[in-house]
């Protein structure tokens, strides 16, 4: 069977809260956040009736409690998708949401279904990273990985060791730029359009969660210089140049290009190809480099062809390594994370991949001359995931202009 074209029609996310008792989602269930995203995708796309959605795929790193019981199925039932809509959950840690998207897209490409919703969620307040995991002792007794591999901040320190020319000062400078870009995007009202407000109960009473809690627009190099390095004495990774601990959900509406045409909905971007790759777990932040090389090679495209690049900012150092590898301008390349990244927005693990796709979708609309874009993330225990998309908003009408 010939693979069919798969397009993204829309994407939306909740605000990203700070994990923990002071976070806006502390008293909100993760599955309710997923339901909010699904309902909003349907509300915004009235030509897509709930009965038409055939598959619902969600990524989550911890698959228990309010993220358990096969979230793809539970959230379908809770969101009022029809009984006939199947669903499943996937886990590729930080790339869980991206994997949900590529898994659903692959189903559509092979004709297993026509319309799917896919996304990712992580309530890091309810499910602190790795808290209930029970890694096999052989990992350490047989030295399969070093202890560092299990603590993401330590893997970032290891990347600094691997690239000693990337200093803490550079990581901080990168972080300041990320915060500035996010602040600008907020002041221009861009980010607000990507967030579905959610009325939530908190310790202070009811509130509407409609803004990310983590961004610190006041960040300066001077303020970052004084921060502790929690992962290593005299290290380089700080709370200021790392992503934070967050709660959030994001998702996209996918369908075959033919179905979009049949329904008369305007597709925003087409999936060109994707690749995942592994690296040594101790340097997990290096992951997007081999996965990006792999997908560029497989599609015959080059980094020059990528008009927009959205790389998840788990840690500033890992982004700088990526920029160096692909010849992007430090500290700020106009093609790279134009609206800021996880250093500012926060990083609710599996919830971040679809956020990157949502940013790309927006930026494609703003930059019709950009034909291709990349979304990529690093993944705990040493993986990278990269997806190349084609802009379908090149003539402003949702269809690609012929060249
Ligand atoms: C780095 C990390 C340990 C920090 O956690 P934390 O200590 O709870 O973070 P906080 O937000 O309380 O920040 C710590 C301090 O830095 C300060 N700070 C943080 N960002 C700042 C900024 N941009 N400017 C100035 N100060 C800042 C805070 O005000 C706080 O100061 P205080 O101690 O005086 O109150 C945590 O965010 C982390 O683990 N991040 C990585 C997450 C991760 O691994 N994800 C997976 C990736 S693969």
pLDDT tens per residue across span 304-325: 999 999 999 999 999 999 999 9
* d(CA 180, ligand 1 centre) in Å: 17
Q: Is 239 in the pocket of ligand 1 (CB under 6 A)?
A: yes
The per-residue pLDDT for 12 is: 98
* d(CA 230, ligand 1 centre) in Å: 9
Q: Which atom of ligand 1 is nearest to the CA of 218?
A: 24
Query: What CATH code is carried by the domain that includes residue 74?
Result: 3.40.47.10
Q: Is 237 in the pocket of ligand 1 (CB under 6 A)?
A: no
**Distance of alpha carbon 131 from its chain centroid, rounded?**
22
Catalytic residue among 123, 126, 347, 362: 347
24 is catalytic: no
- Residue 306 lies inside a defined structural domain of this protein: yes
Predicted confidence (pLDDT) at residue 63 exceeds the cutoff of 80: yes
Helix pair 71-78, 30-44: axis angle to 10 deg: 60
Q: Whose CA is nearest to atom 40 of ligand 1?
A: 244
The per-residue pLDDT for 126 is: 98
- Give the integer Cα–Cα distance in Å for 400 and 242: 37
Q: Whose CA is nearest to atom 12 of ligand 1?
A: 239
Q: Which atom of ligand 1 is nearest to the CA of 239?
A: 1
- Residue 158 lies inside a defined structural domain of this protein: no
378 is catalytic: yes
**Distance of alpha carbon 382 from its chain centroid, rounded?**
17
The per-residue pLDDT for 396 is: 57
Tell me: cis bond preceding 183? Omega within 30 of 0 counts.
no
pLDDT tens column, 340-392? 999 999 999 999 999 999 999 999 999 999 999 999 999 999 999 999 999 99
In Å, what is the CA distance from 56 to each residue of 35, 51, 71, 95?
Answer: 11, 12, 9, 17
Supply φ then ψ for residue 383, to 5 degrees: -140, 165
Encoding tokens for residue 74?
Answer: 């539970």
Share of the chain above pLDDT 70, in %: 98
User: Can you tell me the mean pLDDT for 34-43?
Assistant: 98
Encoding tokens for residue 131?
Answer: 């808290």
Total number of domains constituting the chain: 1
User: Can you tell me the mean pLDDT for 52-81?
Assistant: 98
Q: Which atom of ligand 1 is nearest to the CA of 285?
A: 48
pLDDT tens column, 191-240? 999 999 999 999 999 999 999 999 999 999 999 999 999 999 999 999 99
DSSP string spanning 239-298? SSSB---EEEEEEEEEEEHHHHHHHT----EEEEEEEEEE--GGGGGGTHHHHHHHHHHH
Q: Which atom of ligand 1 is nearest to the CA of 237?
A: 1
Catalytic residue among 85, 94, 113, 319: 94
Q: Is 153 in the pocket of ligand 1 (CB under 6 A)?
A: yes
- Residue 89 lies inside a defined structural domain of this protein: yes
Helix pair 316-325, 168-187: axis angle to 10 deg: 100
Q: Is 227 in the pocket of ligand 1 (CB under 6 A)?
A: yes
Q: Which atom of ligand 1 is nearest to the CA of 155?
A: 48
* Rounded CA Rg of the chain: 20
Query: Is the distance from CB of 198 to CB of 36 less than 8 angstroms?
Result: yes
Mean pLDDT of the chain: 97
Q: Which of 389, 387, 377 is nearest to 61 (CA)?
A: 377
- Residue 191 lies inside a defined structural domain of this protein: no
- Residue 208 lies inside a defined structural domain of this protein: no
DSSP string spanning 153-173? HHHHHHHHHHSTTS-HHHHHH
* d(CA 238, ligand 1 centre) in Å: 7
- Residue 227 lies inside a defined structural domain of this protein: no
Q: Whose CA is nearest to atom 6 of ligand 1?
A: 239
Q: Whose CA is nearest to atom 30 of ligand 1?
A: 239
Q: Is 216 in the pocket of ligand 1 (CB under 6 A)?
A: yes
Strand partners, 250: 13, 120
Q: Which of 244, 287, 315 to mutate to test the pocket of ligand 1 (most atoms within 8 A of CB)?
A: 244
pTM: 0.98
* d(CA 350, ligand 1 centre) in Å: 19
* d(CA 83, ligand 1 centre) in Å: 43
Measured in Å, how far apart are the chain's first and last C-alpha atoms?
28
- Residue 54 lies inside a defined structural domain of this protein: yes
Catalytic residue among 24, 85, 319, 378: 378
Q: Is 223 in the pocket of ligand 1 (CB under 6 A)?
A: yes
Q: Whose CA is nearest to atom 28 of ligand 1?
A: 239
Confidence of residue 273 (pLDDT cuts 50, 70, 90): very high
Predicted confidence (pLDDT) at residue 400 exceeds the cutoff of 90: no
Q: Is 152 in the pocket of ligand 1 (CB under 6 A)?
A: yes
Q: Whose CA is nearest to atom 23 of ligand 1?
A: 240
Domain residue limits at 14:
6-124+244-390
- Residue 336 lies inside a defined structural domain of this protein: yes
């Amino acid at each position: 069977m010939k693979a069919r074209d798969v397009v993204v029609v829309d994407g939306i996310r909740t605000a990203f809260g700070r994990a923990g008792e002071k976070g806006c989602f502390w008293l909100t269930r993760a599955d309710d956040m997923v339901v909010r995203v699904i309902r909003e995708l349907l509300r915004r796309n009235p030509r897509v009736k709930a009965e038409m959605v055939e598959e619902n795929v969600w990524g989550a790193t911890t698959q228990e409690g309010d993220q358990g019981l096969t979230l793809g199925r539970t959230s379908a039932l809770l969101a009022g998708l029809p009984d006939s809509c199947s669903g499943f959950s996937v886990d590729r840690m930080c790339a869980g949401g991206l994997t949900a998207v590529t898994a659903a897209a692959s189903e559509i490409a092979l004709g297993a279904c026509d319309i799917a919703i896919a996304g990712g969620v992580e309530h890091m307040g309810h499910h602190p990273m790795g808290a209930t995991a029970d890694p096999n002792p052989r990992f350490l007794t047989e030295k399969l990985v070093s202890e560092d591999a299990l603590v993401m901040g330590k893997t970032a320190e290891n990347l600094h060791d691997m690239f000693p020319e990337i200093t803490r000062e550079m990581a901080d400078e990168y972080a300041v730029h990320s915060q500035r870009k996010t602040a600008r995007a907020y002041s221009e009202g861009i980010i607000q359009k990507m967030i579905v407000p959610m009325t939530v109960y908190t310790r202070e009473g009811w509130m509407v969660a409609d803004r990310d809690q983590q961004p610190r627009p006041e960040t300066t190099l001077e303020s970052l210089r004084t921060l502790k390095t929690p992962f290593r004495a005299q290290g380089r990774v700080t709370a200021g140049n790392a992503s934070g601990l967050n709660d959030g959900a994001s998702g996209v509406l996918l369908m075959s290009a033919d179905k979009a045409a049949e329904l008369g909905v305007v597709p925003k971007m087409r999936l060109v190809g994707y690749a995942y790759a592994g690296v040594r777990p101790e340097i997990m932040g290096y992951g997007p480099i081999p996965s990006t090389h792999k997908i560029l090679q497989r599609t015959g495209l080059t980094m020059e062809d990528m008009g927009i690049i959205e790389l998840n900012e788990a840690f500033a150092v890992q982004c700088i390594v990526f920029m160096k590898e692909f010849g992007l301008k430090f500290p700020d390349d106009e093609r790279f994370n134009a609206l800021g990244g996880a250093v500012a927005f926060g990083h609710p693990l599996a919830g971040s991949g679809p956020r990157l796709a949502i940013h790309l979708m927006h930026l494609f609309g703003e930059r019709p001359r950009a034909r291709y874009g990349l979304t990529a993330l690093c993944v705990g225990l040493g993986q990278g995931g990269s997806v190349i998309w084609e802009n379908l908003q090149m003539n402003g009408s949702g269809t690609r202009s012929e060249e």
